[in-house]
Amino acid sequence: MERLEEFKYLASVLVAVVLGFVIGYERKLRYKEAGIRTHTIVCVGSALIMVISKYGFGDSAEADAARVAAQIVSGVGFLGAGIIVYRKQEIHGLTTAAGVWATAGVGMASGAELYIVAAGATVIIVSVQCLFHAKWKIFRTKKYYQIKIIFTNETGDGDKVKKIFHAERFNRLVIERNGDQIIYHATLNTDQEFSSLRLSEIMTSESYIRAIERCDND
């Protein structure tokens, strides 16, 4: 009879395999740092630990199932921290790390035999990821382009430059004297994408601009 009970517990782990696979598959389609294997293993591991914490210690008075299960949350937190990286002044992997953490919760629900909760949470997680990746303006993160520009500033040309590139200020500014002229070397960020043709037109029409460099990958 005890062996049959173990097969029932194993079913909880198998459900976690399926649900972890579903979440990981969505992440794999978006080429994220953590894909099918990571999410499946996290989900299975969480379910397994949940089963052990709930049934593995029997009726021992010293056993505290909640305390064992609680270690899953902190353990997966360390795993998520390894996914998050800071590169090019941007944080990458934060959403994926949060997804791994949420997947652990799905595994815990499965291990606790809360199958409807586990399956429902999986649907919600995948749906939210798909919804927020939809190409709707409300979900888009504004992208900025970096422009390096050299110009002379004789009659308020600095304000003209900011107006042309829709920038509020210069991020970096170096001023040098060349004979009677004051030369500005400036860097600014703009949310407008300027093609090479448009930059050439600006150079032609604005005689005070000496050079423009677009640095998309800085």
Q: Could you tell me which residue, 96 or 140, shows the higher pLDDT?
A: 96
3-class DSSP assignment, residue 92: strand
Handedness of CA 29, 35, 48, 72 (dihedral sign): negative
Identify the pLDDT of residue 66: 66
Query: 145-214 in CATH: which number?
Result: 3.30.70
Helices (H), 112-174: 115-132, 157-164
Q: What is the pLDDT of residue 218?
A: 44
Domain ranges for the chain, please list them: 2-139, 145-214
Highest mean pLDDT among 7-21, 46-60, 90-104, 149-163: 7-21
User: Closest Cα to residue 16, out of 36, 37, 45?
Assistant: 45
CB atoms within 10 A of CB 26: 21
Is this prediction's pTM over 0.75?
no
- 116: confidence class by pLDDT, cuts 50, 70, 90: very high
Rounded Cα distance between 154 and 158, Å, is: 9
